[in-house]
Copies of this chain bind each other. A is one copy, B any other.
Amino acid sequence: MPPMKPGERLIYLPLGGAGEIGMNAYVYGYGMPGKERLILVDLGVAFPDMDGSPGVDLIMADIKWLTDRLDRLEAIFITHAHEDHIGALPHLWAQLKKPVYARAFTATIGRMKLEEAGLARDAIRTVKPRPETVTAGPFEVQFVPVSHSIPESAALVIDTPAGRIVHSGDFKLDRNPIVGEAWDDARFEEIALERPIKALMCDSTNVFSPLPGRSESTLAVPLAELIAAQGGMVVATTFASNVARLKTLAEAGRAAGRTICLLGRAMKRMVLAAEEAGVLQGFPRHVTPEDALEVSRKNLMLIVTGSQGERRAASAQLARGKYLGLEMREGDTFLFSSKTIPGNERDVLKVVNAFSEKGVNIVDDTGGRYHVSGHANRPDLEHVHRLLLPDMVVPMHGEHRHLREHVKLANDAGIASIIATNGTMVNLTGEMPAVAERIEAGRVYLDGTALVGALDGVVRERIRLALNGHVTVTVIVDEDGEALGEPWVDTMGLPPTGRGGRDLAETLEGDLADFVEGAGRKVMADDDKLEEALKRVVRQVTMEEIGKKPEVIVVISRLSSE
* Cβ contact within 8 Å between A557 and B474: yes
* Cβ contact within 8 Å between A548 and B345: no
A255 interfacial by beta-carbon distance below 8 Å: no
A48-60 interface code vs B (CB 8 A; 1 in, 0 out) = 0111001100000
A163-195 interface code vs B (CB 8 A; 1 in, 0 out) = 000000000000000000000000000000000
- With a cutoff of 8 Å between Cβ atoms, the chain B residues found around residue A461 in the complex are 469, 492-493
Alpha-carbon separation in the docked complex, A169 to B474 (Å)? 53
A472 interfacial by beta-carbon distance below 8 Å: yes
- With a cutoff of 8 Å between Cβ atoms, the chain B residues found around residue A464 in the complex are 493
A484 interfacial by beta-carbon distance below 8 Å: yes
* Cβ contact within 8 Å between B447 and A399: no
For chain A residues 458-510, which have a beta carbon within 8 Å of chain B? 458-459, 461-470, 472, 474, 476, 484-485, 488, 490, 492-499
| A508, chain B: closest CB distance, angstroms | 14
* Cβ contact within 8 Å between B559 and A459: no
Alpha-carbon separation in the docked complex, A342 to B54 (Å)? 20
A429 interfacial by beta-carbon distance below 8 Å: no
Interface size class of A (residues with CB under 8 A): 35 or more
Q: Which of B49, B449, B462, B467 meets A55, CB within 8 Å?
A: B467
A352 interfacial by beta-carbon distance below 8 Å: yes
Alpha-carbon separation in the docked complex, A494 to B449 (Å)? 11
Alpha-carbon separation in the docked complex, A208 to B545 (Å)? 45
A431-456 interface code vs B (CB 8 A; 1 in, 0 out) = 00000000000000001111110001
A330-370 interface code vs B (CB 8 A; 1 in, 0 out) = 00000000000011011101001100110100100010000
- With a cutoff of 8 Å between Cβ atoms, the chain B residues found around residue A349 in the complex are 342, 399, 401
Copies of this chain held together in the complex: 2
- With a cutoff of 8 Å between Cβ atoms, the chain B residues found around residue A474 in the complex are 474, 555, 557
For chain A residues 293-347, which have a beta carbon within 8 Å of chain B? 342-343, 345-347
A404 interfacial by beta-carbon distance below 8 Å: yes
Alpha-carbon separation in the docked complex, A166 to B546 (Å)? 41
Alpha-carbon separation in the docked complex, A110 to B422 (Å)? 49
Q: Which of B448, B450, B495 meets A497, CB within 8 Å?
A: B450
A415 interfacial by beta-carbon distance below 8 Å: no
A400 interfacial by beta-carbon distance below 8 Å: yes
* Cβ contact within 8 Å between A555 and B553: no
A430 interfacial by beta-carbon distance below 8 Å: no
- With a cutoff of 8 Å between Cβ atoms, the chain B residues found around residue A352 in the complex are 401
Interface of A is mostly: mixed
A216 interfacial by beta-carbon distance below 8 Å: no
A520 interfacial by beta-carbon distance below 8 Å: no
* Cβ contact within 8 Å between A401 and B458: no
Q: Are A50 and B55 also in contact (CB < 8 A) when A400-B357, A401-B353, A493-B465 are?
A: no
- With a cutoff of 8 Å between Cβ atoms, the chain B residues found around residue A551 in the complex are 492
- With a cutoff of 8 Å between Cβ atoms, the chain B residues found around residue A353 in the complex are 19, 399-401
A547 interfacial by beta-carbon distance below 8 Å: yes
Alpha-carbon separation in the docked complex, A168 to B507 (Å)? 47
* Cβ contact within 8 Å between B553 and A490: yes
For chain A residues 521-554, which have a beta carbon within 8 Å of chain B? 545-548, 551, 553
* Cβ contact within 8 Å between B476 and A559: yes
* Cβ contact within 8 Å between A50 and B466: yes
- With a cutoff of 8 Å between Cβ atoms, the chain B residues found around residue A456 in the complex are 496
| A515, chain B: closest CB distance, angstroms | 18
Q: Are A466 and B555 also in contact (CB < 8 A) when A401-B362, A458-B493 are?
A: no
Q: Are A462 and B493 also in contact (CB < 8 A) when A50-B50, A343-B345 are?
A: yes
Alpha-carbon separation in the docked complex, A404 to B361 (Å)? 10
Q: Are A476 and B50 also in contact (CB < 8 A) when A356-B400, A465-B466 are?
A: no
Q: Which of B345, B404, B459, B555 meets A345, CB within 8 Å?
A: B345
Considering only CB atoms, which chain B residue lies closest to A548 in the complex? B448
For chain A residues 81-112, which have a beta carbon within 8 Å of chain B? none
What are 27 of the A-B contact pairs (CB < 8 Å)? A19-B353, A49-B50, A51-B347, A55-B467, A55-B468, A55-B469, A55-B493, A342-B349, A343-B346, A349-B401, A353-B399, A362-B401, A448-B548, A449-B499, A450-B545, A450-B547, A451-B495, A452-B495, A458-B493, A461-B469, A462-B492, A470-B492, A472-B553, A476-B557, A476-B559, A485-B557, A488-B555
